[in-house]
Chains A and B, each alone.
Chain A
């Protein structure tokens, strides 16, 4: 069960990615059953996210294709900026939502 705000945000982005793929399939003329269920699931998921965070996510999504960027080897893979090592310990806990000082994207530590 997802409980932390960052986990919920990542799940939301995964869902948005899936919805986009469904749209692409539909644009090719295929049927896409289940799209409504996905949209409903997105709505439910969004309700669990703090309004302030959700608004940040939506704002970033408009600006970039994806609002959340993975971090590997202390590097934001959105803008490739090197992040301070001190952030990593906090970031891996998933307890707080940390944004990149370079591009502003929400960060998710892969390793």
Chain B
């Protein structure tokens, strides 16, 4: 997957420049709410339940201020990413114990025919592994700047 393709999974209406959440549960809920408000997901509780169970398997706080809560659920019509930021940082039970500033919630249906879900997760992790990219994502003024960063312009 190319970075340009990665950008296709981000949507303006699924971007939260400054999250209000102060803990992990609130962060998950705030991001799922984005999908609900935009009529992408009809049933919030089903998705939250799936994400909580996924977190029980191991925290999706992968360190360096990044969390990628993700999972497959029947309630998701397609593979999509919600992107949220927290300047103050949110305690998330991350692998390195550090608060999370960048959240990428990836939802996918149980089976996507073109099998985009795993390559997408891989590309996302690769993209945010650079220190400079994470800093730029935090400083991006609007959604277009986020997309420009992903595409690499």
The interface centre, meaning the residue of B42, B49, B58 with most chain A CB atoms within 10 A of its CB, is: B49
B110 adjacent to A92 (CB under 8 Å): no
Q: Which residues of A contact B42 (CB under 8 A)?
A: 92, 109-111
Does B24 belong to the interface (CB within 8 Å)?
no
Measured between beta carbons, the chain B residues less than 8 angstroms from A94 are: 43
Number of interface residues of A (CB under 8 A): 30
Interface 1/0 per residue, A92-106 and B, CB below 8 Å: 101000000000000
> Bound state CA distance, A34 and B56, in angstroms?
7
Q: Say whether B123 faces chain A, with CB atoms less than 8 Å apart.
A: no
**Bound-complex Cα distance A10 to B111 (A):** 14
- Residues 1-27 of A at the B interface (beta carbon under 8 Å): 1-2, 7, 10-11, 13-15, 17-18, 21-22
Partner pick for A110 among B50, B53, B58, B77, CB 8 A cutoff = B77
Q: Is A29 an interface residue (CB 8 A)?
A: no
A18 and B57 form a contact (CB under 8 A): yes
Flag A70-95 by CB within 8 Å of B: 1 or 0 each.
10100000000000000000001010
- What would be 19 A-B contacts, judged by CB atoms less than 8 Å apart? A1-B45, A13-B110, A14-B49, A14-B71, A14-B72, A14-B110, A15-B53, A17-B72, A18-B53, A18-B54, A18-B57, A33-B57, A65-B111, A70-B74, A94-B43, A108-B74, A110-B42, A111-B42, A111-B77
